[in-house]
Amino acid sequence: MKERLIPILIKIFLIFTGALIALFIIFTVVVDYKPKDVITVDINQDATIGAVPIDKEISITSYNIGYGGTDRKQDFYMCGGEGTSLVEKSTVEKNIKHIIEQINNIDSNILLLQEVDSDSKRSRYMDQTQMIRNTVEKMDSVSAYTHKSGYVPIPLKEPMGKIESSIMTFSKFNIEESKRYKLPDNIKWPTKAFKHDRAMLESVILTENGKKLVVLNIHLSAFDEKAKVRREQLEFINEHIESHLNKGDYIIIGGDFNLIFNSENITFNSKEKKPERFEYFPEEVLLNQTKLIFDESAPTARSLSRPYDENSFKAVVDGFIISNNIDVIQVKNLEYDFKYSDHNPVVMKFKLK
């Protein structure tokens, strides 16, 4: 009797397991974020200044805030560490509180943020987009998803679960229109259902001379082999801005490029070997009408292979590409020593010609 029962139980177990897998696949198909190539973004209007002035100092900041879960004590399994990005709620709350204080102290005219969570298990379902909007005064704001997944099943020992994360742009000047543009990637289904949805967030702001200031907030791919996809994304952005450049509009592309800007001989006293995912920025992709702007005095990103220490690998991967009709007064990486995020913010002061 036992010998007959065992095959039956095994069969029932296999059928049950297969049914669970099928249900999970159906679930991922149904909830998978499938954005159109171009999406018009709603503008949260709170700015009180109209057009951008010409030949007057303006400031812009880019800051990857790491969803409040990548402070100096954290590491991450996809970068060679052990952490799963699931940290205590009190830690996320503390980090976001201090990040908001940093943002308000910097007080830029334009602010570009990356990795802002709104409904993610990893950040304990805190709506960081609304928290920041509630504390940043008199600024228009827009946001676009760059990672939206109903359930991320990895790592198996502690799945990341639901993720909703965005890039956000804030402006003290009125944003006339904003669009999300899907960036190219090579991720196929079913992996696509769990991975980032890379995008650029375009915000168009009018200037006093009638031209447009076009601000692109980006967060490029991170784990593509030899940065091939990152290069494709840069080429896509180039194609997009050419028509604006030909009209004489002003262009600022800012964010987390996930590409190293600093020279190879500048190591910031890092003892850790450069992780394979970090590649150098291919300067040959720059258009003649644009220039790369960054600061080498301090790093903007660190390796997440281990909790941060002075020997951790560090580099400059955050900065700007701007059109030649913009004069840079200063660009500076703010050395916050990765206390609340695995990135430091970068601030650029400039004038429109």
pLDDT in tens, 195-214: 779 999 999 999 999 999 99
Between the alpha carbon of residue 17 and those of residues 13, 22, 24, 130, 230, the distances in Å are 6, 9, 11, 40, 38
Question: pLDDT tens-digit profile of 310-328?
Answer: 999 999 999 999 999 999 9
Q: How far apart are CA 227 and CA 176, in angstroms?
A: 34
User: What's CA 235's distance to the chain center, in Å?
Assistant: 18
223 or 236: which leads in pLDDT: 236
More confident residue, 60 or 22: 60
In 3D space, the residue among 119, 105, 83, 181 whose CA is nearest the CA of residue 345 turns out to be 105
- Could you give the count of Cα atoms lying within 13 Å of 211 in the half-sphere of its Cβ? 19
Q: What are phi and psi of 118, to 5 degrees?
A: -125, -30
**Residue with the two structure tokens 């010409």:** 54
At residue 163 the predicted structure's pLDDT band, cuts being 50, 70 and 90, is very high
Give the confidence band of 154 by pLDDT, cuts at 50, 70, 90: confident
The pLDDT of residue 192: 52
Q: Residue 80 has what pLDDT?
A: 59
Structure tokens at 107: 């007080």
Q: Give the pLDDT of residue 190.
A: 52
Which pLDDT score, from 0 to 100, does residue 196 have?
Answer: 79
Q: Which residues pair with 52 in a beta bridge?
A: 207
d(CA 83, CA 79): 9
Range of weakest confidence among 4-8, 223-227, 246-250: 4-8
- Residue 251 pairs in a beta bridge with 214
- Over residues 282-307, the pLDDT tens digits come to 999 999 999 999 999 999 999 998 99
**What is d(CA 305, CA 277) in angstroms, rounded to the nearest whole number?**
12
pLDDT at 87: 87
User: What pLDDT is stored for residue 282 in this prediction?
Assistant: 97
The C-alpha atoms of residue 87 and residue 257 are separated, in whole angstroms, by 25
N-terminal to C-terminal alpha carbon distance within the chain: 89
Average pLDDT for the chain: 90
Residues 6+ apart with CB under 8 A from 49: 172, 173, 174
For residues 343 and 301, what is the distance between their CA atoms, to the nearest angstrom? Answer: 4
pLDDT at 57 over 90: yes
Looking up tokens 């980090």 gives 95
Per-residue pLDDT averaged across 20-48, rounded? 76
Residue percentage of the chain with pLDDT more than 70: 85
Q: Which two tokens stand for residue 126?
A: 């805190």
Whole-number Å distance between alpha carbons of 254 and 220? 11
Please tell me the distance from the alpha carbon of residue 76 to that of residue 57, in angstroms, as a whole number: 39
pLDDT at 62 over 80: yes
CB of 65 closer than 8 Å to CB of 114: yes
Band of the pLDDT at 158, cuts 50, 70, 90? confident
Runs of H (alpha helix) within the chain: 2-31, 89-106, 128-135, 228-247
Categorize the per-residue pLDDT at 84 as very low, low, confident or very high, splitting at 50, 70 and 90: low
Q: Which residue, among 297, 283, 291, has the nearest Cα to 331 in the 3D structure?
A: 297
* Burial class of 120 by CB neighbour count within 10 A (0 to 12, 13 to 18, 19+): buried
Q: What is the C-alpha to C-alpha distance for residues 3 and 184, in angstroms, rounded to an integer?
A: 55
Which candidate, 19, 24, 339, places its Cα nearest to that of 159? 24
The predicted pLDDT at position 17 comes to 60
Q: What is the pLDDT of residues 227-245, one digit of tens each?
A: 999 999 999 999 999 999 9
185 vs 117, which has greater pLDDT?
Answer: 117
Is the pLDDT score of 174 beyond 70? yes
